[in-house]
Structure 1
Amino acid sequence: MTMIQALRSAMDVMLARDSNVVVYGEDVGYFGGVFRCTEGLQAKYGKNRVFDAPITESGIVGAGVGMAAYGLRPVVEVQFADYVYPALDQIMSEAARLRYRSAGDFSAPMVIRMPCGGGIYGGQTHSQSPEALFTHTCGIRTVMPSNPYDAKGMLIASIENNDPVVFLEPKRLYNGPFDGHHDKPVVPWSKHELGEVPDGHYTVPLDSAKVVREGKDVTVIAYGTMVFVAEAAAQETGVDAEIIDLRSIWPLDLPTIVKSVQKTGRCVVVHEATKTSGFGAELLSLVQENCFYHLEAPIERVAGWDIPYPHAQEWSYFPGPARVGEALKKVMEA
Structure 2
Amino acid sequence: MTRRKVVLVLQEGIQALDVAGPLDVFAEANARLPACEHYDCCLTGHHTAPMQASNGLLFSAHMTFEQASDAAHTVLVPGGPSLFESSGDRKVSAWLREACGGAARYGSICTGAFTLGWAGLLDGRTVTTHWQHAEQLARLFPRADVQPDRIHVRDGRLVTSAGVTAGIDLALALVREDHGSAVALACAKRLVVVAQRQGGQSQFSPLLMSGTAHDSPLGSVQAYVTAHLTEAFPVQRLAAIAGLSVRSLARLFVKELGCTPHDYVEAVRIDHARNLLEATDDAIKAVAFDCGFTSPAQMRAVFRKKLGVSPVQYRSSFHYWS
Measured against the shorter chain, the TM-score band is: 0.3 to 0.5
Q: Which has the larger radius of gyration?
A: 2
Larger relative helix fraction: 2
What TM-score does the superposition give when structure 1 sets the normalisation length? Answer: 0.33
What TM-score does the superposition give when structure 2 sets the normalisation length? Answer: 0.34
Larger relative strand fraction: 1
Structure with more relative contact order (C-alpha pairs < 8 Å, separation 6 or more): 1
